[in-house]
Structure formats: structure tokens, C-alpha cells
Structure 1
Amino acid sequence: MSYVTKLSSFVSLQIKRNKFTRMFYAVYHNENRGLFYVKLDENSRAVLQYKAQGKVLDMQVISVPYRYRGRGIARLLTETAFTYVIVNYLYMYLTCEYMQKYYLAIKNPDLEEYIVGPPHILEGPDSEPLDPDIIYELPDPEDFLIYFS
């Protein structure tokens, strides 16, 4: 399967899930500062911070102001970062707990090749390929518990 096909099937499934969030918010990227962000109002932003180390992006933390939580903004930032990594042939180390949960919720063989850590995320059962013809809602990442050993 080509990278374009992988990306289009992944993105189309995600767009269907978050079509309303995507209509109201645009994600911006500041490569120099290692940020993906959404402007929420004049004084507020939701931010995903990362550190680039060669071809590996260490996804560190997502911060969404309290009054904007529950609107799918963290998911939008996460999906944008995943798409950015796929399109640019990069890799991700998921330090951010929310991103770890999201990855476990949507884990599939096409995405697995872009994730390089942490080790507890890489272990576990084999994943199923995403079927772009199925429009079921993805599980909420908050439904997954992550245990550190």
C-alpha cells in the first residue's frame, strides 16, 4: 500500500470523526518553536509542544485551556501531528500521555512504523489495519488506561 493511500485512508477516517471541530478551528505549525497550536480567542491557545531530534519528534505535552476541553481540540492537534509525521517521513516518540492513549485507540500497522517509543507503547498485541470503508466512531483515548512498569 502506498504512503498516499495510507495517508488518505487515515485522514478520511479522522475527518469524519471530527468534522465539526475541524470546521471551527485551524491548526498552525511553528517549526522553529516546536509547536502545533490552535487559536481559540484573542488570548487563548491550545498547544502541542514537541522537540525535534533529527528525524524523531518527541511529542511532549498537549495543553488545552480548561473552558475549551471536551471539544476535540486535543484530538485535532494529535491528528495533525500524526499526519505531519506521515507526510514528512518522520518518526514520533510519544511522551505525551494523551497522544499515547490516542495511538493505542487507533493503533494500526500503517501507523506503527512511525512510532519509536516509549517501549511500553511498542509492546502489546498486533494491530488490525484500518478499514477506510467503515465509518464507526473511534474510541475515545480517555477510555484507555496506560500502565508504566
Structure 2
Amino acid sequence: MTTGVGSVLLASVLALAATGCSGPEVIGEPYDGAGPGVLATHSADTGPAAGWVTVGERFFVTTYGSSSCPTAPTAVETGVRGPIVTMSRTGGNACTADLGPASYALDLPGRFRGEGPVVVSLRFDDTPDVDVELPLSASP
């Protein structure tokens, strides 16, 4: 009888853990490039940012927040002047109270390659949207 209760308890804990960490599917690949505020001798800029990984082909988005529940790209739509990236909090309901960068690299939709400047629009669930203009002459 004890083994049956233990098995049920273990299954319940595993099911709860699996659902507690669920969230939207992240697109793009984690990017380790240094974004704004990562290397600074003064107060760091911890606002959302975007920049080129490969000019005119691949871009990154960076947000700052909990390392266990980062805000990450979950969808890309085609806008008038560039991609519109939906940014959603991931990681579930229990998040650490730290502040760190999370960066992701995404491919620039073909429609905007060779055109410039490109405006990357970041859409958030709980904060104002941010537009970042990326000139084609910029370096990463």
C-alpha cells in the first residue's frame, strides 16, 4: 500500500513540475553576443534591444529579466518596414529574482534582405512595444 501511495505522489509531483515549467514555444537560437549593457563601467542599459548578427541577414533580440523565466521570441510576422517579433515570458509561474540578459538570433525574412533600414518591432505582453531601426551599414 505504501508503494502505491508513493508512486501516485511521485507521479503527481512530476506532472506538476512539467506543467509548472510550460510556456510558449521559443523561436530562434540562443545568442551569446554582447548586447547593450552587458559590458559597462556605468549603469547598464537594461531595456530591450536588437542588432545585427549578420548585417542584412540575421538579427538578435535581447531582453533583461529573470534568468529562469526569460522573455523570448515566440512569433515573427512581416511588418511594413521589418519583422514584428512577439516577445513572451517563458518558464512558468515560479521565477528567480535576478536580472540578466537573454538574447536570441533570428533570420531576417527574405522580403527585407537588401532593403534598409530595417525596423525590428518588439511586441510584449505587459510592457509597451519597442521599435529598433537597424541600418544595413551597421556592424554587430
Structure number with greater Rg is: 2
Q: More strand per residue: 1 or 2?
A: 2
TM-score w.r.t. the length of structure 2 is 0.28
Q: More helix per residue: 1 or 2?
A: 1
